[in-house]
């Protein structure tokens, strides 16, 4: 399809825009640099000639936009600009990597090859996606710019996502929030990370996005008046002290506001920290950067009283993604807390542009010591080159390495170790050495004995206690934070499991032989039922580990228990009607029926079976989405906000149900919902709660758990409700009980 005159004008305007951005960034410093970029542009233009994107615009606009993001928003150089312009040429046209190497250079060809493979990863509609992604991430060992250019590519795709079908929007947005947002954060691309989050929300939760955007706009005049009152005395004192600075008020991103509203169960009107004041100043030759930052901090806190527990000193100890700044929360006019951020121009450049700015300043300095970002990249390379049992397991573990907050832990010798927020002693032990983690049994935290599952806080001094008979435990996986520790524990448990399976099979075979019984499928099915094992490996493993003793083996071989079959049916085939306990079923007949369930449920012409996801427990009235379980054909119904669904959609996007999932209006079914309550303890408050739920609303209560300490109580109540309206009615009445301070539905995802 030929381009129109308007198309040609648009292409030329975008090309001129890229040239201007390169000039401002001083991208072309040597003779021939401009020719290098021009050659890439004309190659891309010719290669994509006549091709249009789904949005209708000429395709070459996309590589031009990616190149603009690379140079203007990230600050990458001419090679990255050339690679960005060429990144789709090999995938979509007759050009080969050898052609790119010959026309440009082997380095450009290598970068384009990495980007081409990356595109194949994220277009894949099979479970191979995670394995491909693992291979592509190996480019981190060679050139991090490939990953950064892919982030730029994803950013432009997200900016134009509206042209895609709805199911593709969900898949791409889920991939983005699951992996690209943490990657952007970890590489210091704060501005891009925030925009990606907002764009994901805009397409996944458009109503909530528009509502918050409108509320931000409506409150702008009042907010601006407050900001002027707050900053006026700060401006006066900074001017008086001769600082050269720029002061701005940055409103939180829509996504971060929405996340806080969900996390705390509060409306927009109760989000008080909607904005932060940022002071970016030009440093003097002396004193040091650090001293000058503290001088400005002192000027601010001479005017407004700081909140002691909200001082964040990322100048003395920068974040592991290179971020440096002083953050302090102070009490402003009208009793409103305000966050003030202090940065130098260098710190601001690194904070906003990430990787490229980080290395620009690093190479300009005398010190070439390995810093936080260097250490993280080294760990990523180590993880990528280590064996992993499952590609999807690897992807989940890798995501753990993209942690957002650090805590600083001290060793017994006073050395510092940066760990992710929420890390346990287990994580710390494996960070020191795998052998220490494998044999750790406890720790001394600040000279006091603590268990392995203890969460660590910044400033803790930790000494890991080991023993020869110490062994990793499966329950550790429930609390581990770092990918290194998780991988090590999984590897150990797998080795133990394999050994137990082999030993258990040997033990079972010998015990059966003693009863003149041969190990076969019929016997295995009976024993799996008796010992409530899902498969033969679980049976062998438990026998090998001594969990199953086989003391009653002779009795079990003769037993034909319908109740055990019924329990098996309920446990492993959820959603089926309950069977009559009084009936006596034949073991083999019943097992044959169970084996055929998946095939019969997913047969041609039958209606799909819907199952409520246990991870997020949606109820009628919630916005929901469907995910088709490839093993059974069932459609698992998740809340749109469910983290588990986001992960599944990111890794298995082809299984997203394209059709809108709607709640049935005629089925009288109750759904489980969990409610969090907090308040001031008093005699009889629990009785009032249970009376209201069971008597006033005639609602069944599944469980209640309440803890009281120093006159304050908190807890959860699990109840069965018909829909979101009936749940909200219960919550409204609970709020009116004397002593209840807050009540909200628990976010299970």
**Which of 508, 313, 548 shows the shortest CA–CA distance to 408?**
313
pLDDT higher than threshold 90 for residue 631:
no
Name the one residue in this structure whose structure tokens are 């060809």. Answer: 109
Give the integer Cα–Cα distance in Å for 255 and 176: 14
3-state helix, strand, coil in the chain (%, to 5): 55, 15, 30
Give the up-direction half-sphere exposure of residue 719: CA atoms within 13 A in the CB hemisphere: 27
Mean pLDDT of 669-691: 84
* Token representation of residue 385: 């080159």
The percent of residues above 90 in pLDDT, for the chain, comes to: 32
Per-residue pLDDT band at 372 (split at 50, 70, 90): low
Q: How many CB atoms lie within 10 A of CB 199?
A: 26
* Token representation of residue 299: 């000027």
Looking at residue 220, its pLDDT comes to 92
The CA-based angle 529-611-209, given to 5 degrees, is 145
Q: What are phi and psi of 287, to 5 degrees?
A: -70, -165
Q: Which long-range contacts (CB under 8 A, 24 or more apart) does 12-20 make?
A: 14/61, 14/64, 14/65, 14/68, 15/41, 15/64, 17/64, 17/68, 18/64, 18/67, 18/68, 18/71, 18/81
Give the integer Cα–Cα distance in Å for 568 and 474: 24
Lowest mean pLDDT among 489-503, 590-604, 686-700: 590-604
pLDDT higher than threshold 50 for residue 629:
yes
Looking at residue 404, its pLDDT comes to 52
Q: Residue 738 burial by CB count (10 A; 0-12/13-18/19+): exposed, middle or buried?
A: exposed
Looking at residue 582, its pLDDT comes to 36
DSSP H or E run through 478: none
* Torsion region of 209: left, alpha or beta (phi above 0 gives left; psi -120 to 50 gives alpha): alpha
Looking at residue 36, its pLDDT comes to 92
Q: How many CB atoms lie within 10 A of CB 258?
A: 22
Looking at residue 472, its pLDDT comes to 92
pLDDT higher than threshold 90 for residue 39:
yes
Architecture of domain 671-745: 2-Layer Sandwich (3.30)
Looking at residue 651, its pLDDT comes to 77
pLDDT higher than threshold 80 for residue 723:
yes
Give the integer Cα–Cα distance in Å for 257 and 267: 10
Looking at residue 439, its pLDDT comes to 93
pLDDT tens digits, one per residue of 580-627:
443 333 434 433 333 333 333 344 445 567 888 888 888 888 888 999
Looking at residue 608, its pLDDT comes to 67
Mean pLDDT of 497-519: 84
Looking at residue 342, its pLDDT comes to 96
Name the one residue in this structure whose structure tokens are 């290669």. Answer: 47
Q: Specify the fold of 5-163.
A: Hypothetical protein af1432 (1.10.3210)
| Helix/strand/coil for 608 | coil
Whether omega before 287 lies within 30 degrees of 0, making that bond cis, reads yes
pLDDT higher than threshold 50 for residue 567:
no
Q: How many CB atoms lie within 10 A of CB 163?
A: 13
Mean pLDDT of 203-223: 93
Per-residue pLDDT band at 363 (split at 50, 70, 90): low
Mean pLDDT of 329-358: 86
pLDDT tens digits, one per residue of 161-185:
988 888 888 888 988 888 888 888 8
* Token representation of residue 21: 């951005």
pLDDT higher than threshold 80 for residue 208:
yes
pLDDT higher than threshold 90 for residue 308:
no
Residues in CB range of 205: below 8 A, 6 or more apart: 258, 623, 640, 641
* Token representation of residue 475: 């329950």
Task: Say how far residue 24 (Cα) sits from the centre of its chain.
Answer: 36
DSSP H or E run through 32: none
Give the up-direction half-sphere exposure of residue 358: CA atoms within 13 A in the CB hemisphere: 23
Looking at residue 561, its pLDDT comes to 41
Mean pLDDT of 466-495: 87
pLDDT higher than threshold 60 for residue 17:
yes
> Looking at domain 213-364, which of 3.30.460.10, 3.90.199.10, 3.90.960.10, 3.10.580.10 is its CATH number?
3.30.460.10
User: Average per-residue pLDDT in the chain?
Assistant: 81
Q: Which of 357-366, 438-447, 720-729 has the highest mean pLDDT?
A: 438-447
Domain boundaries, the chain: 5-163, 213-364, 404-481, 671-745
Answer with the residue of higher pLDDT: 366 or 57.
57
pLDDT tens digits, one per residue of 647-665:
888 878 888 887 778 887 6
Q: Residue 469 burial by CB count (10 A; 0-12/13-18/19+): exposed, middle or buried?
A: exposed
Torsion of CA 195, 200, 203, 205, to 10 degrees: -110
The CA-based angle 343-346-347, given to 5 degrees, is 40
Give the integer Cα–Cα distance in Å for 635 and 571: 18
CATH number for the region 404-481 comes to 3.10.20.30
Mean pLDDT of 77-96: 90
Pairing mode of beta strands 406-410, 326-331: unpaired
Per-residue pLDDT band at 693 (split at 50, 70, 90): confident
Per-residue pLDDT band at 564 (split at 50, 70, 90): very low
Max distance between CA atoms of the chain, in angstroms, equals 97
pLDDT higher than threshold 80 for residue 446:
yes
* Token representation of residue 163: 């042209």
Please answer whether residues 636 and 626 qualify as being in contact, where contact means their C-beta atoms are separated by less than 8 angstroms. Answer: yes
pTM, to two decimals = 0.70
Per-residue pLDDT band at 379 (split at 50, 70, 90): low
Q: How many CB atoms lie within 10 A of CB 77?
A: 19
Please answer whether residues 441 and 452 qualify as being in contact, where contact means their C-beta atoms are separated by less than 8 angstroms. Answer: yes
Looking at residue 384, its pLDDT comes to 54
Give the integer Cα–Cα distance in Å for 656 and 561: 40
Looking at residue 131, its pLDDT comes to 57
Looking at residue 459, its pLDDT comes to 82
Looking at residue 576, its pLDDT comes to 39
Looking at residue 269, its pLDDT comes to 85
Give the integer Cα–Cα distance in Å for 481 and 431: 11
Residues in CB range of 427: below 8 A, 6 or more apart: 419, 420, 456, 480, 481, 482, 484, 485
**Which of 134, 634, 726 shows the shortest CA–CA distance to 384?**
134
pLDDT higher than threshold 70 for residue 544:
yes
The percent of residues above 70 in pLDDT, for the chain, comes to: 82
DSSP character for 141?
G
Please answer whether residues 75 and 28 qualify as being in contact, where contact means their C-beta atoms are separated by less than 8 angstroms. Answer: no
Looking at residue 115, its pLDDT comes to 82
Angstrom CA distances, 328 to 280, 313, 418, stand at: 14, 9, 22
């Amino acid at each position: 399809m030929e381009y129109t005159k308007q198309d040609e004008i648009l292409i030329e305007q975008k090309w001129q825009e890229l040239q201007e951005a390169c000039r401002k960034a001083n991208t072309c410093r040597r003779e021939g640099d401009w020719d290098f970029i021009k050659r890439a542009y004309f190659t891309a233009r010719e290669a994509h000639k006549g091709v249009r994107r789904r949005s209708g615009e000429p395709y070459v606009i996309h590589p031009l936009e990616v190149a603009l993001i690379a140079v203007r928003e990230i600050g990458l150089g001419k090679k990255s600009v050339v690679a960005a312009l060429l990144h789709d040429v090999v995938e979509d046209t007759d050009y080969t990597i050898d052609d790119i190497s010959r026309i440009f250079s082997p380095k450009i060809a290598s970068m384009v090859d990495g980007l081409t493979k990356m595109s194949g990863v994220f277009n894949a509609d099979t479970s191979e996606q995670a394995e491909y992604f693992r291979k592509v991430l190996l480019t981190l060992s060679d050139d991090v710019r490939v990953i950064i250019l892919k982030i730029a590519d994803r950013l432009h795709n997200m900016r134009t996502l509206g042209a895609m079908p709805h199911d593709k929007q969900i898949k791409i947005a889920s991939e983005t929030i699951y992996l690209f947002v943490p990657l952007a954060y970890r590489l210091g691309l704060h501005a891009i990370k925030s925009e990606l989050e907002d764009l994901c929300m805009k397409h996944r939760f458009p109503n909530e996005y528009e509502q918050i955007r409108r509320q931000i706009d409506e409150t702008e005049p009042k907010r601006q008046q407050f900001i002027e009152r707050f900053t006026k005395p700060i401006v006066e004192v900074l001017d008086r002290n001769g600082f050269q600075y720029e002061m701005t008020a940055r409103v939180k991103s829509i996504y971060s506001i929405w996340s806080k509203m969900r996390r705390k169960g509060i409306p927009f009107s109760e989000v008080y920290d909607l904005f932060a004041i940022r002071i970016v100043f030009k440093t003097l030759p002396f004193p040091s950067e650090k001293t000058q930052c503290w001088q400005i901090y002192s000027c601010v806190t001479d005017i407004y009283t700081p909140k002691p527990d909200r001082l964040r000193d990322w100048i003395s100890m920068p974040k592991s993604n290179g971020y440096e700044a002083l953050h302090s929360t102070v009490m402003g006019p009208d009793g409103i807390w305000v966050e003030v951020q202090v940065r130098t121009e260098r710190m601001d450049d690194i904070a906003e542009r990430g990787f490229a700015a980080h290395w620009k300043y690093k190479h300009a300095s005398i010190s070439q010591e390995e810093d936080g970002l260097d250490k993280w990249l080294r760990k990523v390379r180590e993880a990528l080159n280590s064996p992993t049992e499952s590609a999807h397991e690897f992807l989940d573990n890798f995501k753990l390495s993209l942690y957002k907050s650090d805590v600083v832990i001290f060793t017994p010798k006073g050395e510092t170790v940066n760990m992710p927020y929420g890390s346990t002693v287990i994580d710390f032990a494996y960070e020191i050495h795998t052998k220490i983690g494998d044999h750790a049994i406890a720790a001394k935290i600040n000279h006091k004995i603590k268990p392995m599952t203890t969460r660590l806080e910044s400033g803790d001094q930790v000494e890991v206690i080991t023993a020869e008979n110490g062994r990793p435990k499966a329950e550790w996986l429930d609390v581990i934070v770092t990918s290194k520790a998780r991988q090590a524990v999984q590897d150990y448990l797998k080795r133990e499991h394999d050994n137990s399976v082999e030993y258990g099979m040997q033990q079972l075979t010998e015990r059966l032989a003693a009863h003149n019984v041969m190990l076969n499928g019929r016997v295995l099915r009976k024993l799996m039922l008796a010992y409530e094992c899902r498969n033969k490996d679980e049976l062998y493993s438990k026998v090998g580990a001594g969990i199953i003793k086989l003391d009653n083996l002779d009795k079990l071989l003769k037993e034909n228990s319908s109740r055990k079959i019924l329990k098996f049916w309920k446990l492993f085939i959820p959603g089926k009607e309950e069977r009559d306990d009084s009936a006596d079923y034949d073991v083999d007949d019943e097992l044959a029926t169970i084996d055929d369930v998946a095939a019969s449920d997913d047969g041609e012409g039958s209606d799909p079976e819907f199952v409520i996801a246990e991870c997020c427990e949606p109820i009628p009235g919630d916005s929901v989405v469907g995910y088709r379980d490839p093993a059974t054909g069932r459609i698992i119904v998740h809340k749109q906000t469910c983290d588990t669904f986001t992960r599944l959609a990111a890794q298995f996007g082809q299984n997203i149900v394209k059709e809108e999932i709607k709640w049935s209006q005629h089925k009288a079914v109750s759904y489980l919902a969990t409610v969090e309550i907090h308040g001031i303890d008093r005699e009889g408050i629990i009785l009032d709660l249970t009376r209201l739920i069971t008597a006033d609303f005639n609602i069944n209560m599944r469980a209640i758990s309440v803890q009281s300490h120093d006159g304050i109580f908190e807890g959860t109540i699990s109840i069965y409700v018909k829909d979101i309206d009936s749940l909200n009615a219960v919550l409204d009445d609970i709020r009116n009980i004397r002593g209840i301070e807050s009540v909200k539905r628990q976010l299970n995802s």
